[in-house]
Chain A
């Protein structure tokens, strides 16, 4: 690895998990050792929460209930629109309602194994431990989970799990859980416990005397740039899949809050860990603005296949059974169509690369429900997946009850994010990061139905306890509005905004975003190679240079200007893309969702390298084009035996 791409700094470690007790007792012990804030004192402490998704919404509501003064920011018009709303499939919880051998320990095991041994045991255990309480909380709020005729909650097996521990609300689980958190938040807003800032975007972090003390924001309606100060800052700003331009994320989802915090000193961990989702609707044309995911719960009843012969473009219903290749069932008989996401995605890409892909672009495989409809009846399939079949029909104009659905992988979730310790605190004191925005408890790959679980675990149950321990030292000295750190941050934001508007070049923001996305999908997507990543690292600085000299951003600063918002976000995606490629290049192993061409078994399966890469890569930003600094956090496995994944 040439030195010029990065340098290596001091190792880092989590110092907050009480490692002197066994993992099942760590969270109780941490809560016990954490300092508390007297309820009467909480009114004197203020907390900024950026985001209103499952993590941000649940945190803002819970902190307000506890009595802290919460200032909540979101860029959409309503907190109910955060992208968590679009999560379809379900939420895991170790309730063992099915008596099928599930337990906290098994969910912990599945999370660490699913994450391909690249997550912390302490964090993953806690996630499994608080999972059951999330379901209780959501039911108490009136979240309408699917129920059985006896009136009890229904469960299904999901995304590679061999137990049925997933709770769901038709294909709209994220929506219903988010509305639960949103309603709890609105209740606190109505009670006057939350100061709200809708249609407001965070553009910088204010650090004073080494502590995160505030944020600089732009009011998206008036364009006004201002600073908001508090005793602590919580980022719940989501993931960065839109670096790929086409992803299943909402169009507004962006990395800006996290990236600007990174540029203020917060370490960014494992940026190359992204998740590719196998069941998306294939791309239809160049104008395509986003990809639509269909819940992978579909794989419970659908069978994945392509024709055995390449170029077989017959109507799928005309292709006889013995001329079909059910490639997942063939290669992975134990798990069949329910193999983990990365395997399902890569195998789909492989058969398409062989020329056996289906549909107009040849980039697609069938997900066929004809057996399930015959076995269970159309009405059962309709009640389970009706909204997904309707969605597919609206987008493609095809009826999946009659003919095979076409699916193709797309980027869906990012496991990387800002580095946090067991308390979910970044390396900047007072900056906490929750939900998808942190580098998470998910390791190199996330189990299906665990994103909703993590967002709500962080917001409802983890952060309110660990944040108290930090705030016990507060209130911190008042920061003056003209403090040099505030002035400097505000000035930098104004300067960048003015710069973007003044370039007046010849290319649109969207054209840069598309070019960057295509490059990242091709070279830093499902399969990566040394050669490809180096090519990307040559090209990205050129894109960056061209962006800053030739982009055309319309309008002015002091008005509602969606093009300016997009420009700032794409500027950050370009910088993030470079760090992702450095991270991907240095990690010369296949792990989680990533297949590294240089690291495979003789059978062509992913080969992890525990000897050299069993660590979290936490990157430090260095300004002015100097190479980033790598800080390694060693991962040790005391409770779960390190093993190569096998789903054969």
Chain B
């Protein structure tokens, strides 16, 4: 099939960007979306043009590197990471808009590449269980009910791609933060730091350039791992609990 791509080009964070049109021909339906961009880039290189910068790595939907707004939808039409999106989801003659994640919390580096280090800083603030190497008890010392373990796992599948932020009209990082709060808060190992964790993570999230959460749900609708809005309820529950217990908010 033949397609027209309208792609966001931006040389560097300080320069102004714009949409540029490209025509791609003989696209196979079995190609992945990123392979289609690879083919375009090889052509651009041979023509002496600057290839389109985009983040990608594992190309099997687990590393969280790739992420594009495709026709205004984070990761495109399949609710899977862009690397798992195949061209069979499009038709001959389609015009496709391709933009980077749009959020104040994710400044553009170049073209479709953004800086997501704010996510690392949120984890750094409290998204962990303090268990220095060598201090661990025997793994079977504390049984964990399967339903809690399964729910923790569901939350822990977040790959940190940032689609939730890009999709949110407020540019909120709440689903990302909540998935870690829920994962660790559901496990017995996570209890000692539960109050402090939620306070510190939410504090850091507010300190970054993310917006607030108003429970719209766009985040969960585009999440490639299908992380549920229930995690946000858990975060709010934990946050209220911590504040009721007399904790002072970090922001």
Which residue of A77, A176, A179, A187 is within 8 Å of B65 (Cβ)?
A: A77
Q: How many residues does chain B have at the interface if contact means C-beta atoms less than 8 Å apart?
A: 79
Interface-side segment among A150-158, A299-307, A329-337: A150-158
Interface-side segment among B91-99, B182-190, B239-247: B182-190
Q: Is the CB of A289 within 8 A of B32?
A: yes
Report B154 CB to chain A, min CB distance, Å.
9
Does B60 sit within 8 A of A, measured CB to CB? yes
Q: Measured between alpha carbons, how far is A290 from B113 in the docked complex, in Å?
A: 21
Which residue of A58, A80, A285, A560 is within 8 Å of B64 (Cβ)?
A: A80
Closest A residue, CB atoms, query B56: A251
Report A141 CB to chain B, min CB distance, Å.
5
Report B41 CB to chain A, min CB distance, Å.
8
Report B124 CB to chain A, min CB distance, Å.
4
Q: Is the CB of B62 within 8 A of A175?
A: yes
Q: Is the CB of A140 within 8 A of B135?
A: yes
Closest A residue, CB atoms, query B116: A77
Q: Is the CB of B35 within 8 A of A287?
A: yes
Q: Is the CB of A251 within 8 A of B156?
A: no
Q: Is the CB of B59 within 8 A of A290?
A: yes
Q: For chain B, residues 181 to 201, give those with C-beta under 8 angstroms from any C-beta of chain A.
A: 183-184, 187, 189-190
Per-residue contact bits, chain A 550-580, to B (CB 8 Å; 1 contact, 0 not) = 0010110001101100000000000000000
Residues of A within 8 A of B137 (CB): 136, 140
Which residue of A76, A142, A198, A292 is within 8 Å of B60 (Cβ)?
A: A292
Per-residue contact bits, chain A 394-424, to B (CB 8 Å; 1 contact, 0 not) = 1101000000000000000000000000000
Q: Measured between alpha carbons, how far is A285 from B88 in the docked complex, in Å?
A: 14
Interface-side segment among A4-12, A81-89, A347-355, A433-441: A81-89
Q: Measured between alpha carbons, how far is A394 from B133 in the docked complex, in Å?
A: 39
Residues of A within 8 A of B144 (CB): 147, 151
| Secondary structure type dominating chain B contacts | loop
Q: Measured between alpha carbons, how far is A293 from B60 in the docked complex, in Å?
A: 8
Does B146 sit within 8 A of A, measured CB to CB? yes
Q: Is the CB of B42 within 8 A of A510?
A: yes
Q: For chain A, residues 237 to 287, give those with C-beta under 8 angstroms from any C-beta of chain B.
A: 248, 250-252, 284-285, 287
Q: Is the CB of B128 within 8 A of A554?
A: no
Which residue of A78, A85, A144 is within 8 Å of B152 (Cβ)?
A: A144
Which residue of B63, B130, B138 is within 8 Å of A136 (Cβ)?
A: B138
Known A-B contacts: A151-B145, A284-B30, A394-B78. Give 7 more (CB < 8 A). Answer: A133-B134, A146-B149, A147-B143, A175-B157, A186-B120, A397-B86, A559-B110
What are 28 residue pairs bridging A and B, where the CB atoms are less than 8 Å apart in the complex? A77-B115, A133-B136, A136-B136, A136-B139, A139-B136, A139-B189, A142-B128, A142-B190, A144-B149, A145-B149, A146-B149, A146-B153, A147-B146, A151-B146, A170-B153, A184-B131, A184-B133, A248-B60, A287-B31, A287-B36, A288-B35, A289-B38, A391-B61, A394-B78, A461-B133, A508-B42, A510-B42, A560-B110
* Contact surface of A with B, Cβ cutoff 8 Å: 58, 61-62, 65, 76-81, 83, 85-86, 95, 97, 133, 135-142, 144-153, 169-170, 172, 175-176, 179, 182-184, 186-187, 189-190, 198, 221, 248, 250-252, 284-285, 287-290, 292-293, 391, 394-395, 397, 460-461, 464, 506, 508, 510-511, 552, 554-555, 559-560, 562-563
Closest 9 pairs (CB-CB, A-B): A151-B143, A183-B128, A140-B136, A190-B124, A140-B131, A136-B136, A144-B153, A250-B57, A186-B124
